[in-house]
């Protein structure tokens, strides 16, 4: 588990206030309140259908809350998009698309698909790929990459624009064991970064253990929010196993 630390700036990157979300007329999230400060790594945990991925889509501006506000650097998610990096699930994109890793990273840098890549753009893309230990994959077609390699390239794509907030939707789902371990190692490094905040939806205890500085249990609302050390203390685990919420850890 990551040791709790004080983030020097304390700047609020993401603020969620009284958010209620409905999909097709059905309320799936209500009274969601929390914030993330610069440099913090928050894991969203919860059962299937609990609304955590939908909440992440709200942060991306793809789903609009019916009530409440979401602010990213004090702005709406739509206006703050250029400050976001996003790593989707492996299953969400077409891996047979005729593209190389470097083209994908440059597309993120430019905001459009490249026909030709200038030297300076290639250098920036290679630097981003190097950060995720994928520089050797630069000129490989996406269709030839393993699940773990693909997610590393997509992480480079998310990081190349130097975002302030990284949003990750179950990044290791569908990735083999070796690929998962590589990915967790990279996410662990990101969790120790002071300027980049991250919110990750995950089901994986291993991913949470390597990355989470804060945890939010989501199940229709925020059931618990706090430090992993508090939420996973023996007393709280016992209370949860007994069907009661963790004492003293109310949604903040």
Binding site for another protein (CB under 8 A): 24, 60-62, 81-82, 84, 86, 88, 92-94, 96-100, 103-104, 107-108, 110-115, 143, 157
Nearest CA to 153 among 220, 214, 108, 216? 108
Which CB sits closer to another protein, 142 or 215?
142
- Residue 133 neighbours by CB under 8 Å, 6+ apart: 152, 182, 186
- The smaller minimum CB distance to another protein, of residues 92 and 247, is found at 92
Query: In the complex, what is the shortest distance from the CB of residue 155 to another protein, in angstroms, rounded to a whole number?
Result: 13
Q: Which is nearer to another protein, 154 or 184 (CB)?
A: 154
Query: Residue 5 or residue 79: which is nearer to another protein going by CB?
Result: 79
3-state secondary structure at position 197:
strand
Alpha-helical runs (H) found in the chain: 52-60, 101-110, 119-131, 147-159, 177-191, 205-211, 228-231, 234-241
What minimum distance in Å lies between the beta carbon of 103 and another protein? 7
Nearer to another protein, 158 or 218 (CB): 158
CB of 162 to another protein, least distance (A): 14
Residue among 63, 81, 93, 84 nearest 154 (CA): 93
- Tell the smallest beta-carbon distance from residue 165 to another protein (Å): 12
User: What is the helix (H) or strand (E) element at residue 33, kind and residue range?
Assistant: strand 26-37
Q: Which phi and psi angles does 58 have, rounded to 5°?
A: -65, -40
Tell me how far, at minimum, the Cβ of 145 lies from another protein, in Å. 14
Nearer to another protein, 42 or 165 (CB): 165
Q: Specify the residue for token string 């994908």.
A: 104
Residue 133: phi, psi to the nearest 5?
Answer: 55, 45
Min separation Cβ 107 and another protein, Å: 6
What does the buried/exposed string (b/e) look like for 12-36 if buried means 16 or more CB atoms within 10 Å of the residue's CB? bbbbbeebebbeeeeebbbebbbbb
């Amino acid at each position: 588990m990551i040791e709790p630390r004080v983030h020097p700036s304390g700047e609020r990157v993401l603020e969620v206030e009284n958010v209620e979300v409905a999909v097709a007329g059905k309320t799936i999230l209500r009274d969601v309140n929390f914030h993330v400060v610069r440099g913090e790594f928050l894991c969203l945990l919860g059962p299937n259908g609990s609304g955590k991925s939908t909440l992440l889509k709200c942060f991306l501006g793809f789903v609009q809350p019916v009530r409440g506000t979401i602010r990213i650097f004090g702005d709406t998610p739509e206006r703050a998009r250029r400050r976001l990096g996003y790593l989707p699930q492996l299953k969400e994109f077409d891996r047979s698309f005729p593209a190389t890793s470097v083209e994908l990273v440059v597309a993120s840098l430019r905001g459009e698909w490249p026909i030709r890549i200038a030297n300076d753009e290639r250098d920036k893309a290679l630097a981003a790929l190097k950060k995720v230990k994928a520089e050797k994959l630069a000129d490989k077609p996406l269709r030839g990459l393993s699940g773990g390699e693909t997610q590393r390239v997509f992480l480079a794509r998310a990081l190349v624009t130097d975002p302030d907030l990284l949003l990750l939707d179950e990044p290791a789902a569908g990735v083999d064991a070796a690929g998962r371990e590589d990915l967790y190692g990279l996410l662990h490094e990101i969790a120790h970064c002071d300027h980049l905040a991250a919110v990750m939806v995950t089901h994986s205890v291993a991913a949470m253990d390597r990355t989470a500085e804060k945890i939010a249990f989501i199940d229709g609302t925020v059931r618990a929010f706090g430090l992993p050390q508090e939420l996973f203390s023996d007393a709280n685990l016992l209370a949860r196993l007994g069907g009661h919420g963790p004492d003293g850890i109310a949604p903040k």
